[in-house]
Amino acid sequence: MNGNLFQPPPAQGFHPPMASFSVAAPSPSNQFPITLTKVSRKYGKKWALKDVSLTIEPGVFGLLGRNGAGKTTLLNMLATLLEPTSGTITIGPYESRRQRWQIRSLLGFLPQEQGFYPQLTVRETLRYMAELQGLTRISTHVDEALEAVNLRDRARSRVGSLSGGMRRRLGLAVALLGKPPVIIVDEPTTGLDPVEQQRFRMLLGTLGAQGGQTILLSTHIVGDVATVAGRLAVLEKGQLLFQGSVSELAQLARGRCWLWRTTLEQVNALRRSGQLLVASLTPITDGSAAPNEVIARVEGPRPSPFAIPAEPTLEDGYFLLIGATTLYEEQHVSEG
């Protein structure tokens, strides 16, 4: 697969490494909402997505779900790399089966896995991708993309010398070339340190605040969505569990989120029985603490008369929505 999916490959059969892609938008002032109607996708006998109906308006929209929830399948269908087994997808006035080339002309896509030539500079990489896309005023587009992702001061740096966070920002710059009205971003902060995570979230938040573009952020990291998205959807095992605002998802946990001073033994006994979902454990380090005493943040029914209500967060609502079983398994493995 060559780096730009929408243009013929270069001469002599040479294929550049995979990176982000985008093509100049017909009119950057237009807005292009995304609509999925009863979309399903089947691989053999397994349904990766089942009857998903979803509307994504301009702004930053979060697609939240665990690994294997169906997010990548959905993104590939939006990018017209896969066709739905059933259902319809429209982006603006275009339908994905019949008008894939029109849809592709609207998209900027930052995949989770990227490939760049390490010997090229940042500016050379952007010029190369802009030329593949057939853009005019290449220098202007490159300068605008560098400015948007705060890489202007690294324009002459070789890609091989960049940190992981800078490489992700370079990928976003490629996706922004030509100012596409629809941007799809897949797991942008995975593997980044906290500083780079926050920097990337601020970039997405800035793009969303400027208005006009539809930005779909797909992630399994709740913090990505909590900090930049106004609305979101939650996928679990190929099904849509929720769509609405960030505050609405958090409110699902109101009256079901507790802070409980207890011991590890009590926590483990309850969650092994399936009666408790534990979001976090904080050790108590003052002199009054008994052995193994902790502050547990728990979801669900009140675990004890001594537990006090906690203000719900997006993470609390999400944990309650997806259920306790897998969360317990992950906690058990991490403690082992």
Q: Are 96 and 83 in contact (CB under 8 A)?
A: yes
| 260/238 same-domain check | no
Q: Which of 244, 269, 295 is the last residue of a domain?
A: 244
Q: Identify which has the larger pLDDT, 44 or 211.
A: 44
pTM of the prediction?
0.82
Query: What is the three-class DSSP state of 283?
Result: strand
Q: 252: which residues sit within 8 A by CB, 6+ positions away?
A: 242, 312, 317, 320, 321
| Same domain (yes/no): 32, 64 | yes
Q: How would residue 144 be classed by pLDDT, with cut points 50, 70 and 90?
A: very high
Task: Give the domain-ending residue among 198, 221, 244.
Answer: 244
pLDDT (mean) for 305-333: 76
pLDDT at 17: 42
CA atoms within 13 A on the CB side of 25: 24
Of 31, 72, 76, the C-alpha closest to 55 is 31
Of residues 16 and 60, more confidently modeled = 60
pLDDT at 55: 95
Same structural domain for residues 170 and 232?
A: yes
pLDDT at 86 over 90: yes
Residues 6+ apart with CB under 8 A from 32: 58, 91, 92, 106, 181, 182, 214
Distance separating the N- and C-terminal Cα atoms of the chain: 41
Q: What is the CATH number of the domain that holds 120?
A: 3.40.50.300
Would the pLDDT of 12 be above 70?
Answer: no
Residue 105 has pLDDT above 80, yes or no: yes
Average the pLDDT over each of 29-38, 63-72, 147-156 and give the range with the smallest value.
29-38
At residue 149, φ and ψ (nearest 5 deg) are -105, 10
Mean model confidence pLDDT for the chain: 85
Kindly tell me if the per-residue pLDDT of 14 is higher than 60: no
- Spatial separation of the C-alpha atoms in residues 193 and 83, rounded to whole Å: 35
Residue 96 contacts by C-beta under 8 Å, 6 or more apart in sequence?
77, 78, 80, 83, 84, 88, 89, 90, 103
Pick the residue with more confidence: 26 or 116?
Answer: 116
Do 93 and 69 lie in a common domain? Answer: yes
The set of residues, in sequence order, having a beta carbon less than 8 Å from that of 147 and lying 6+ positions away, is none
44 pLDDT band, cuts 50/70/90, is very high
* Residues spanned by the domain of 321: 252-335
Number of other CB atoms surrounding residue 39 within 10 Å: 24
Last residue of a domain, one of 213, 244, 275: 244
Average pLDDT over residues 127-142: 92
Banded pLDDT at 23 (limits 50, 70, 90) = very low
User: Is the Cβ–Cβ distance between 287 and 298 less than 8 Å?
Assistant: no
pLDDT at residue 10 in the model: 35
Amino acid at 214: T
Average pLDDT of 244-270? 93
- pLDDT score for 291: 80
- Residue carrying the six token digits 């089966």: 97
> Quick one: pLDDT at residue 328?
45
- Checking if the pLDDT of 134 tops 90, the result is no
pLDDT at 61: 96
- At residue 5, does pLDDT exceed 90? no
Identify the three-state secondary structure at position 148.
helix
pLDDT of residue 294: 92
